[in-house]
Amino acid sequence: MKAAKSIRLSSFELKVGDIAGVELEKLHALSISVGWPHRAEDWQLLLEMGEGIVAQDEIGRVLVTAMWFPFGASFATVGMVITSPRLQAHGAGRWIMNNVLARVGSRNLGLSATRAAHRLYLSLGFSPARVVYQCQGEAAMPASTLLPAGASLRDIGPADLARLVELDRNAYGVDRSALLARLLDVSKGVALLREDRIQAFALCRPFGRGHVVGPVVAGKDDDAIAVTSPHVAEHAGQFLRLDTRQETGPFPAFVARSGLPVYDTVTSMWLGQPWAVTGEQDAGKLPVTYALASQAFG
């Protein structure tokens, strides 16, 4: 697929360039302009884990961005698709996405579509999978939760990476070992064990206005609640965020009781082969991604 590398929109002459060559401050300024919560440190993590392009005008202002995050040779997520408010009605989103599709090759793709961009992605051939509920607020100490029978909790360490990757791969559908290794560097993790084997885990790291919990991977709601609860308790009275595809059941009810009501929604969408997050897994047999690592990473 070919895409134009330059375009004139409104009064701007835009050219596509590699995001790796752009100052972090310019990227951060663009996300601030559209009200996204990302800190400069959050952008830095994204740049470490993915690839991307920007559109700059004649004087070097960054007006459009888009990134993709390869997980193996056959799958990537698309994220950080941001258009300056002054260009949002002029086709910049379609133009930058055509440039992304020209670069990712034959990979199957997943993304989190905002309501404003939903129609654009449908027109590009993406199919909707699941609604993502962005839950956030001032964390409240959860009511004491019973630890599932036969289970114990402990902190996660570097030696646990291989098992976390295995659980995440079974839930997510592709190997994200590099991402999980990097997230362990900046996160605190809680694992649930049965017979000395990790059955569920939850990571929590600084992000945006406070902290974000994710990914959370477990085989059932009680296990997901057990590994998430310590993070809620640790950040009681502070801003906390958790993005989940779980609409009903004990886990989203627990999240709401923990002071994290639904703030917004996006839609997980896929292009190519159906993504594992379509919800076809049997939660009693396979682990499930109860909370996303982020909307960009999925």
The β-bridge partners of 269 are: 111, 128
Q: Which two tokens stand for residue 267?
A: 């839609």
pLDDT at 32: 96
256 and 139 belong to one structural domain:
yes
Q: Which residue has the tokens 């300024």?
A: 29
The model's pLDDT over 253-273, given as tens digits with 9 standing for 90+, comes to 999 999 999 999 999 999 999
CB–CB of 14/7 below 8 Å? yes
CA 258 and chain centroid, separation: 21
* Residue 205 domain-assigned (yes or no): yes
- The whole-number pLDDT of residue 279 equals 55
**How many domains is the chain partitioned into structurally?**
2
Let me know if residue 1 belongs to a domain: no
Statement to judge: residues 190 and 244 lie in one domain: yes
Q: By the 8 A CB rule, do 285 and 257 touch?
A: no
| Residue linked to tokens 């905002």 | 114
Within this chain, do residues 158 and 287 fall inside the same structural domain, yes or no?
yes
Question: Do residues 201 and 183 make contact, with C-beta atoms less than 8 angstroms apart?
Answer: no
Q: Where are the alpha helices (DSSP H) in the chain?
A: 24-33, 40-49, 92-103, 118-123, 161-172, 177-186, 221-234, 250-257
Q: Same structural domain for residues 56 and 98?
A: yes
| Residue range 16-44: mean pLDDT, rounded | 96
Quick one: DSSP state of residue 295?
Answer: T
Do 254 and 180 belong to one domain?
yes
Residues 223 and 148 in one domain: yes
Report the 10 Å Cβ neighbour count for 108: 17
How many Cβ atoms sit within 10 Å of the Cβ of residue 229?
21
Based on the fold, state whether residues 141 and 100 are members of the same structural domain.
no
What would the pLDDT profile of 57-86 be if each residue is shown by its tens digit?
Answer: 888 889 999 999 999 999 999 999 999 887
β-pair partners for 65: 54, 82
From CA 206, how far away is CA 37, in angstroms rounded? 12
Q: Is the predicted pLDDT of residue 156 greater than 90, yes or no?
A: yes
Residue 10 has pLDDT above 70, yes or no: no
Is residue 124 in a domain?
Answer: no
> Looking at 106, 121, 142, which one is the last position of a domain?
106
Same domain, 246 and 141: yes
Domain that holds residue 183: 134-262+276-291
Say yes or no: 83 and 17 in one domain. yes
Beta strands in the chain (DSSP E): 6-9, 12-18, 51-56, 62-70, 75-83, 108-113, 127-138, 152-155, 188-194, 197-207, 210-218, 239-244, 262-271, 288-291
Pair 145, 280 in one domain: yes
Residue 112 DSSP label: E
pTM exceeds 0.85, yes or no:
yes
Regarding whether 227 and 160 lie in a shared domain, the answer is yes
- Same domain for 148 and 258, yes or no, is yes
CB 92 within 8 A of CB 14: yes
- In terms of phi and psi (left: phi > 0; alpha: psi -120 to 50; beta: otherwise), the region of 286 is beta
Q: Does residue 127 sit within a domain?
A: no
DSSP state of 28: H
Q: What is the CATH number of the domain that holds 167?
A: 3.40.630.30
